[in-house]
Amino acid sequence: MTRILHLFATRHLLSNLIVALVTAGGLFAWHDIRKEELPDFTFDMVSISTALPGAAPAEVEQSITLPMEHELADLEYIRRIMSSSKRGSSIITLELQRGLASPEVVVSEIRNRLQSVRLPTEVEDPPVVRHRKTSQKAVIDVALYFNDQPLLDLQQRRELQQVMRQLENRLLQHSEISQIERDAWLAEEIQIRPRMGDLLRYQLNLRELREGILEHHTTLPLGVMESRQHEQVRLDGRLETPAAFADIPLRSAFTGEAVHLSDVASAHWAFADSHTLVRINGHEGVIFNVVKSSQTGILDAVDLVKREVAAFQKIHQPNSLRIALLDDESWSVRNRLDLIASNALIGFALIIIVLTVFLNPKAALWVTMGIPFSFFFVLTTAWLLDYTVNNLTLAAVIIAMGMLVDDAIVVSENISRKLRAGQDPVTAAVEGTREVLTPILASVATTIAAFLPLMAFEGRLALLTTTIPPIVALILTGSLIESLIILPGHLSLQWRWPGTRRLPEGPDHSRSAMAAHWFDAIEKIYVAFIFRLLHYRIWILLGFALFCLTGFFLYRSLMSFALFPREQVATMFVIGEADSSLDRYQTLALTKPIEAFFLPRVGRELIGLRTTVGYRRYRPSDEENVVSVRIELDEGRLSGSDTNQIVADTRAFLKTVPGFKKLRLSTQMFGSDTGSALEILILAEQDGDRQKAAALLLQSLRELPDIGYVEIDEPASKMEYRIIPRRDMMERLQISPAEVEMTMRSALAGVLLYRFYAEREEIAVRLRFDPAMRAGIDSLLAIPAANRNNFQVSLHHVVAARRETAVSEIQRLNQQRILRINADIKSGSSVTPLAMARRLESTVFPAVNAALPAVHFDFDGEVKNARESSSFFQTAVIFVILLIFTILAVQFNSLTRPLVIMIAIVPAWMAIVFVFLAHGIPVYGFFAVVGALGLSGIVVNGAILLLDRIDRAMVPADSKEHLFEQIAHLSVKRLQAVFLTTLTTVAGLLPTAYGLAGYDSMLAEMMLVLSWGLIFAMSVTLVLIPVIISYEYQLRYRIKS
């Protein structure tokens, strides 16, 4: 190794070429590497959507959901099966086992299984199976509306959707955009509306009308003409406009009289039925989500969309068209990039100042140059390994930022010490580096080892944390290369700082011959302090033990865990429920005061406002009396206090809004679909048991002082008519069940005749009665159906209608019906969701089970994710300790040395407790735990340097005083290195911890843990380690003697 160090210390051109190569590679990689919101991984969720128009939830469950669940239930790689059966649609969500080697094979097997399920003939399209990767995701929402139209009529909607198609086509011309997903879009269709009176007059029935249309809708190739041009001949009888249907002959006679479709029906353009109403910034509009291609970064894709939208808006500038950009997923990436740039500049400046003060300007300059080298190195290697720049890789860079110059500081400090001792520059560079090579390698290895357990995390967060360890390892490797190969050569260069003189070389020019360094006085004080302290070492041990025991007691009694306790609010939801008798327009009228409260803030504190009637907080619904208002905050303009004030103002305002039975504010939370802290699932076979258990649980929750808003997330009960066939009358009147079914379906959902494409849009042609025919059950049953002899018989003769109450949605979990209860922790309460879940499981759930033993309870959302993640914390801690112990045992070739060094970990952990409580933070989150794991590998670095120096230079002591004197004088040799590495690391982390250059809720508490933990760990290294090592050496001497 000495030869390699000597080579790079003397061949400066080689070192500079490496720097230039890495810099060029980093610049190229930055231009080419994709910038994403999240790392590339495949979600462990598969959704299956199936439509059955006009079917009731119970019918959807029986004919679609249950058969599919039964077919998929025995697949071993499925963890959970969740389903929702609503009017006209079934949605099944499969949660796959984590860590599947080939998710695509699993999805293919699911599709194959579904093909064997026999679905009703009324299912118009096959089930849609979706399994998306993060590299193919919606990156921004584009909303279009007319600012002078609060609501759209048919013509205005057609015009707006036509404009939307133009913008879609413009975006899809670019390879960066993969697809467009529409929202609030109503599909156009041609509806053939029979007139009942005319059908009776001409003695025509629906079957004849349907068959007549299908017979005349033809388009066939007939062949080629035998002419010079070989013209193609084609039969074109397509029916693709309402006017084309008018002259279709349905019946004709020899007399020439014919009955045409226009005699008994009319054809109209119409839109598909919708029970929702979507408004953007107070105006009804349409929205589409832009999905980027897998090879395009999120920043490039969003920038492209913004440019195209701006150009498109200029084209339509004179009219009232407005385009709003919502849910910009690139903001967090841009914010974190800005955070890194700002913190890097601050850290760069602080490190130069600190190193200049402690070392010299030359060393400060070359040590600091290790920061850009490490950045370029990690960029180049990450690009080569097909990583992306995303929120998690950026988080890893921020974590490692404070440690980038630690190795360089140790090398530089040791080389500077030898230069001051009179060694020539090359010898000082080689020997100074060689002396600290082993402890530096061990320090880097322990730091990387501390983050390795993140790759084995379980739960939903495991998809995110696996990216952090390799990026930390890469950037620390870059720092290591720069410190061992590049830096010594630069420090050996013979150039002088302006205003200084070149020092003579040789052993005669020792440190005493030069101007004393100001840190010499600190070192003398430290030597005297440690020498005196060692005489009271038993009290030092007892003091640290008391400190750790106190910290552990405070942790157990005052602190608790929550997944994301200080998650920054970016999106709010106002969820309301009015009287069930209201339609969507009446519900919208009640919502207008809420819109009026927020609209003046759009463009200032808010990015936009999205109101959806007929939509619950986290899922669509066919209940027209529910509404969800999505408020998107402008994070770039708002601080944490501003956001809290908006939330408080909104809560106060909502108390004054009249007309709603339920009205509450919810904030978006990671790992929770509902936005509630507690999501309780009630599982039971019998509907009655679930209802009784929900009522008992609701009452118990309302009695708990720490519970705020609580509700049963129960789909509204709606009236439905069950049609009962009168089989004897059907036989007597010779009417088939198929004729009855087609007649009633034509009146209600409509009968699909065929589809065609126009301007890349699929248009359905549907046979459907006028809306007046389905206004009430009496008018519906008055519709005649044709018997086998083509006589018309009113439906009320052959069927009976029974009015019943039915739910509007049926939810299931693992083939069992469920009921949800959502509850919020009261504002100001110190109770965490996990603590409340434990309380419910120990007291409330057993009390309910005593009355209803067949009921089972489970948690979803934040509690479920937090338990999955926290269950691995203890394993991760043990794993980290074993890894660090193994690395240290190999380095020191001892089983006792690792124990001495790792003692520094416990006081550092306990210091975190005092720091959090001093900052008024009794609840720590997931990233605080990540920071504590990382801290375990960082805090031992100083102890490694200290012990390595002591072990190299210690000589047998003939007395306790001699032993204490040696330990004090050898410890001071690493005082400056330990102090500098801690100071520079903390300088790089504290700006992020306190948001000096921009606040990031995810990183703030992790940086707080790392920075303050290192500060306390320094005192442990410089005080406790000398005390413990004195006992060890004393015991060793006694054994030898």
Domain containing residue 49: CATH number: 3.30.70.1430
On whether both 973 and 1006 belong to a single domain, the answer is: yes
pLDDT at residue 99, rounded to an integer: 65
Q: State how far the alpha carbon of 956 is from the alpha carbons of 702, 950, 973, 1005, in Å.
A: 72, 12, 19, 46
pLDDT at 563 over 50: yes
Q: State how far the alpha carbon of 506 is from the alpha carbons of 418, 497, 568, 704, in Å.
A: 11, 21, 60, 79
pLDDT at residue 9, rounded to an integer: 82
- DSSP 3-state of 666: strand
pLDDT at 208 over 70: yes
Of the chain, the end-to-end C-alpha distance in Å amounts to: 37
φ/ψ of 436, rounded to 5, equals -100, 5
Treating both helix axes as pointing N-terminal to C-terminal, what angle do 391-401 and 975-993 enclose, rounded to 10 degrees?
Answer: 140
Q: What is the pLDDT of residues 540-551, one digit of tens each?
A: 999 999 999 999
- DSSP 3-state of 669: strand
Q: Which residues, including other chains, have CB under 8 Å from residue 956's CB and lie 6 or more apart?
A: 1037
On whether both 750 and 895 belong to a single domain, the answer is: no
Q: What is the pLDDT of residues 824-856, one digit of tens each?
A: 888 777 788 888 888 999 999 999 998 888 889
504 is a domain residue? no
On whether both 21 and 50 belong to a single domain, the answer is: no
* DSSP alpha helix (H) spans, 994-1024: 1001-1019
577 is a domain residue? no
- Which of 782-786, 809-813, 842-846 tops mean pLDDT? 842-846
Q: Which two tokens stand for residue 585?
A: 């327009």
* Structural domain ending residue among the three candidates 807, 825, 848: 807
pLDDT at 142 over 90: yes
pLDDT at residue 278, rounded to an integer: 92
Max Cα-Cα span within the chain: 135
Residue whose tokens read 């015991």: 1035
Q: Which two tokens stand for residue 137?
A: 């995701």
CA distance 65 to 62: 6
* Structural domain ending residue among the three candidates 92, 116, 132: 132
Q: Which residues, including other chains, have CB under 8 Å from residue 1034's CB and lie 6 or more apart?
A: 960, 963
pLDDT at residue 542, rounded to an integer: 93
Look up residue 190 and give its amino acid: I
Treating both helix axes as pointing N-terminal to C-terminal, what angle do 940-953 and 1025-1040 enclose, rounded to 10 degrees?
Answer: 40
pLDDT at 686 over 90: no
Burial of 375 (0-12, 13-18, 19+ CB in 10 A): buried
Mean pLDDT within 793-808: 85
Q: What is the pLDDT of residues 485-529, one digit of tens each?
A: 888 888 877 544 444 444 444 444 444 434 456 778 888 999 999
673 is a domain residue? no
**Which residues sit opposite 286 in a β-bridge?**
144
CATH number of the domain encompassing residue 534: 1.20.1640.10
On whether both 920 and 1015 belong to a single domain, the answer is: yes
Domain that holds residue 456: 2-37+333-492+519-563+870-1040
User: Using a CB cutoff of 8 Å and minimum separation of 24, what contacts does 786-791 make?
Assistant: 786/205, 786/206, 786/207, 786/208, 786/735, 786/739, 787/733, 787/734, 787/735, 787/739, 788/734, 788/735, 788/736, 789/734, 790/203, 790/205
Q: State how far the alpha carbon of 976 is from the alpha carbons of 412, 421, 1022, in Å.
A: 11, 16, 11
Q: What is the pLDDT of residues 70-80, one digit of tens each?
A: 999 888 888 88
On whether both 959 and 897 belong to a single domain, the answer is: yes
Provide the 10 A C-beta neighbour count for residue 222.
9
Burial of 836 (0-12, 13-18, 19+ CB in 10 A): buried
0.95 exceeded by the pTM?
no
Among residues of the chain, what percentage have pLDDT more than 70?
Answer: 92
812 is a domain residue? no
897 is a domain residue? yes
> Which sign does the torsion angle of CA 147, 148, 154, 155 carry?
negative
CA distance 560 to 300: 41
On whether both 342 and 414 belong to a single domain, the answer is: yes
Q: State how far the alpha carbon of 966 is from the alpha carbons of 238, 643, 804, 1027, in Å.
A: 101, 58, 92, 12
pLDDT at residue 713, rounded to an integer: 80
Q: Which two tokens stand for residue 334?
A: 């841009």
CA distance 894 to 69: 58
The residue that leads in pLDDT, 789 or 1002, is: 789
**Tally of domains in the chain:** 3
On whether both 14 and 85 belong to a single domain, the answer is: no
316 is a domain residue? no
**Which residues sit opposite 721 in a β-bridge?**
803
On whether both 407 and 261 belong to a single domain, the answer is: no
Closest-CA residue to 174 (of 302, 330, 41, 57) = 302
pLDDT at residue 998, rounded to an integer: 67
Mean pLDDT within 100-118: 85
Q: Which DSSP letter does residue 840 get? A: I
pLDDT at residue 510, rounded to an integer: 41
CA distance 899 to 902: 5
The residue that leads in pLDDT, 455 or 171, is: 171
Residues 468, 409, 1029: CA angle, nearest 5 degrees:
90
pLDDT at residue 462, rounded to an integer: 66
On whether both 117 and 266 belong to a single domain, the answer is: no
Q: Which residues, including other chains, have CB under 8 Å from residue 849's CB and lie 6 or more apart?
A: 855
- DSSP 3-state of 17: helix
Q: What is the pLDDT of residues 963-987, one digit of tens each?
A: 899 999 988 888 888 888 888 888 7
On whether both 383 and 484 belong to a single domain, the answer is: yes
pLDDT at residue 500, rounded to an integer: 44
1009 is a domain residue? yes
DSSP-assigned letters across all residues of 223-274: EE-SSSS--EEEEEE---SGGGGTT-EEEE-TTS-EEEHHHHEEEEEEE---
On whether both 109 and 9 belong to a single domain, the answer is: no
Calculate the average pLDDT of the chain: 84
**Which residues sit opposite 128 in a β-bridge?**
49
755 is a domain residue? yes
- DSSP 3-state of 709: strand
CATH number of the domain encompassing residue 801: 3.30.2090.10
Q: Which two tokens stand for residue 248?
A: 């279709």
* Structural domain ending residue among the three candidates 132, 161, 180: 132
Q: What is the pLDDT of residues 405-418, one digit of tens each?
A: 888 888 888 888 78
Burial of 141 (0-12, 13-18, 19+ CB in 10 A): buried
On whether both 357 and 392 belong to a single domain, the answer is: yes
